[in-house]
Structure 1
């Protein structure tokens, strides 16, 4: 299978100014490959850098080192670590989706239009976009009486379902998921799993962090276990001493 994403020597660190300058590195020298249409899960304990990796892939964070080669239909093979902000913006609209742990509700915009608005830049008419949004809100168990309500007034679980509906509305080449099912009930988790499997069948590549290993195991083709990688590197360092 051909690759859609290849990370080489990826690293991120943050400089903290306390009583003295301190550098914190959630991960460093990380390399992995993801094939087109594959789902890669990222596992490891809290604080090991799982979410930071996803943010580097989406370019919410600028990587401190390394390369992220992405097979783009817009730009060909492009290094996301060095792409311009304009290129990243275009990729986010058309090729790379992201589901965060926390939904940032847009004031005074209905749940229906929060989802539908994601489709308008892709050439959908307003009616087509709203039809697609209604289908997804229904599948994700958002009651119809809430479709015209503002997500800012919703519970955390309801907001996350709107967040997922917005991401699933399109078929990006790459979808990045950060704890997408953490606040969902079991029935909605099953619906989310079904939607992810449908997207895989349509060719979408996914990279995700899941609190629930059972959920991740049902969709992942490979799992990048950061704890094992960390232990392996420590053993190599000890052997070289």
Structure 2
């Protein structure tokens, strides 16, 4: 489903004498369909950068990210044009970040339901589906018509998860999705992730809680780095199969 080959991402530090740094260099791994690959490593090592390269929030500096798409066939996400990425994000790729970013003054119910509209759902049916998703993630009904900007951090993250889960993406990318959730909601999220895997969704994710990681991940890619005397990341290299 997903094959990452020699992925490298560099950043220019314009306010430092260091110049260019490489949080990721020549990283390779693959993930089979309906499997969950967890990525582990120290804070700041570049785990989120890997996910952003796959989703194309970041454009990789070099390397390939091959994805078996239903719409586009086998496609290199590192080279895909913007219109193709928009189509894939609407229909096949899901992404859960650590923070909810939505248009202000839109009720939570519509924030979730709007994800289904590009897929041909009617407004009425999309809202009904959104109601079920918000209920499963324990968002009180009294908040459905409220603006997520007024929610607590944990409530915002549940809306964030609902937006990603409602479209049942083919490839789900998760960046610490349970970091701000209570134990009961975390358990509900774990159950939903396990159900999505059974339905065929492939996942790549990061979790701050190792116990949660072990409950959902079929394979764990542990990345490590070496640093020079100036403590700037020099390289991150790893390889993992799906077994």
Report the TM range for the smaller structure's normalisation.
over 0.9
- The residue aligned with 2:80 is 83
Is 1:150 equivalent to 2:154 in the alignment? no
TM-score (norm 1): 0.92
Q: What is the deviation of 1:105?
A: 3.4
- State the alpha-carbon separation in 1 of the partners of residues 136 and 16 from structure 2: 52
Question: Which stretches in structure 2 are left out of the alignment for 5+ residues?
Answer: 228-234, 237-243
Q: What is the deviation of 1:17?
A: 1.0
- State the alpha-carbon separation in 1 of the partners of residues 186 and 15 from structure 2: 42
1:209-224 equivalences in 2 (<5 Å) = 209-224=206-221
- State the alpha-carbon separation in 1 of the partners of residues 28 and 16 from structure 2: 34
- The residue aligned with 1:174 is 171
Q: What is the deviation of 1:230?
A: 6.2
Secondary structure of 1:177's partner? strand
Runs of 4+ displaced beyond 6 Å: none
Is 1:28 equivalent to 2:29 in the alignment? no
What is the aligned counterpart of 2:121 among 108, 119, 124?
Answer: 124
Comparing 179-188 with 12-21, which one deviates more in the overlay?
A: 12-21
Aligned residues: 229
TM-score (norm 2): 0.91
- State the alpha-carbon separation in 2 of the partners of residues 224 and 104 from structure 1: 28
CA deviation map 1:167-213 (0-9, x unaligned): 01011110000000000000000000011111111100010000001
Is 1:48 equivalent to 2:45 in the alignment? yes
- The residue aligned with 1:159 is 156
Higher helix share: 1
Q: What is the deviation of 1:139?
A: 1.0
- State the alpha-carbon separation in 1 of the partners of residues 203 and 129 from structure 2: 21
Higher relative contact order (CA 8 A, sep 6+): 2
- The residue aligned with 1:239 is none
What is the aligned counterpart of 2:63 among 57, 62, 66?
Answer: 66
Q: Check conservation: 1:120, 1:126, Cα contact below 8 A.
A: yes
